[in-house]
């Protein structure tokens, strides 16, 4: 049997599941096959294509370059099948999105609600920037929403929102009455900040250092919700993206000389039609331009 013939058979579906789990045992269970049957099926596919699709790596398995390419092909084929079935039944094709927890909560939450109201099935995956873009590149998700730098040129992308960085302080704090502040105005503050490895923390520390600002770490926590929560219970002020709505009793004041934070939607060119269809719903309704 020619490689092309096998690519048009159920071996592609079998390899898609194997590529996801990197385990014959787990993939066989999902496919309701015996492990020897799955092993033989992928072995025939590998032989017909004439290239190795996976290799041993320590105690596990990993895909070769050819295997990664076939996995992308398999995922695209599966998604096109989903699209066709939805169209045949006058329904909307499902879409899978990847983003960080804060992005889902504060940037695209309303967009996801609008998408759901159209009847389109929506699946989500929480992931940091690197993992989200990797999931798009590998065909595991349709669209990723990431912050800061524009996604790599191999992906199509569109800026969907821009927010200032804001200082969140108690309503009674002297800076709360200001229309905006500058980095030097944070001198002497105790700040609730993300862990040192986070981009937000590194950017903030660099700006504070460049401005000669003296400050103290009030607490280190991960996630916008906890940053503003600890500010609300009085541990210190915090700096968050302007999309984050502060709890009652706190005020968010824009910081003029910190860079704005840009959010991008990214997708593979092969999923462009689907991305175009959902972006009009995904863009925050009141995102600053």
Say if residue 114 is exposed, middle or buried (CB neighbours under 10 Å; 0-12, 13-18, 19+): middle
Joined tokens for residue 196? 């040192």
Distance CA(145)–CA(264), nearest Å, equals 5
Per-residue pLDDT of the chain (289 residues; tens, 9 = 90+): 444 445 546 777 888 888 888 888 888 888 888 888 888 888 888 888 888 888 888 888 888 988 888 888 877 777 766 666 655 555 667 788 999 999 999 999 999 998 888 888 888 999 999 999 998 988 888 999 999 899 999 999 999 999 999 999 999 999 999 999 999 999 999 999 999 998 899 999 999 999 999 999 999 999 999 999 999 999 999 999 999 999 999 999 999 999 999 999 999 888 887 788 788 888 886 544 4
Q: What pLDDT is recorded for position 68?
A: 85
User: Which domains does the chain carry?
Assistant: 3-74 (1.10.10.10), 92-162+262-282 (3.40.190.10), 165-259 (3.40.190.10)
Question: In angstroms, what CA-CA distances link 109 with 86, 115, 160, 267, 279?
Answer: 24, 10, 13, 19, 13
Q: Which of 195, 130, 206, 131 is nearest to 165 (CA)?
A: 206
Distance CA(214)–CA(238), nearest Å, equals 15
pTM: 0.72
Say if residue 10 is exposed, middle or buried (CB neighbours under 10 Å; 0-12, 13-18, 19+): exposed
Give 34's contacts (C-beta < 8 A, 6+ positions apart): 28
Distance CA(159)–CA(289), nearest Å, equals 10
Q: What pLDDT is recorded for position 1?
A: 43
Say if residue 163 is exposed, middle or buried (CB neighbours under 10 Å; 0-12, 13-18, 19+): buried
- Contact criterion met (CB below 8 Å) for 219 and 227: no
């Amino acid at each position: 049997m020619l490689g092309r013939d096998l690519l048009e058979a159920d071996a592609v579906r079998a390899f898609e599941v194997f590529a996801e789990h990197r385990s014959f045992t787990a993939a066989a269970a999902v496919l309701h096959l015996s492990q020897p049957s799955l092993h033989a099926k992928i072995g025939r596919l590998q032989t017909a294509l004439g290239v190795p699709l996976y290799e041993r790596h320590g105690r596990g398995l990993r895909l070769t370059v050819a295997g990664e390419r076939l996995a992308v092909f398999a995922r695209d084929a599966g998604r096109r099948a989903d699209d066709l079935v939805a169209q045949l039944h006058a329904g909307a094709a499902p879409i899978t999105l990847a983003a960080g927890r804060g992005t889902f909560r504060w940037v695209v939450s309303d967009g996801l609600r609008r998408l759901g109201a159209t009847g389109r099935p929506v699946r989500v995956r929480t992931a940091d920037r690197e993992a989200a873009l990797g999931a798009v590149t590998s065909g595991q998700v349709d669209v990723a929403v990431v912050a800061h730098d524009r996604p790599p040129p191999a992906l199509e992308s569109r800026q969907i929102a821009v927010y200032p960085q804001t200082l969140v302080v108690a309503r009674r704090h002297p800076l709360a009455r200001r229309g905006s502040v500058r980095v030097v105005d944070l001198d002497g503050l105790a700040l609730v900040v993300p862990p040192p490895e986070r981009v937000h923390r590194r950017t903030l520390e660099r700006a504070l250092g460049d401005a000669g600002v003296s400050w103290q770490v009030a607490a280190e926590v991960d996630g916008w919700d906890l940053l503003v929560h600890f500010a609300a219970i009085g541990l210190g002020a915090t700096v968050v993206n302007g999309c984050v709505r502060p709890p009652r009793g706190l005020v968010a004041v824009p910081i003029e000389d910190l860079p704005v934070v840009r959010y991008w939607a990214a997708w593979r060119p092969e999923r462009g039609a689907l991305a175009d269809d959902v972006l009009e719903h995904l863009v925050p309704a009141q995102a600053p331009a």
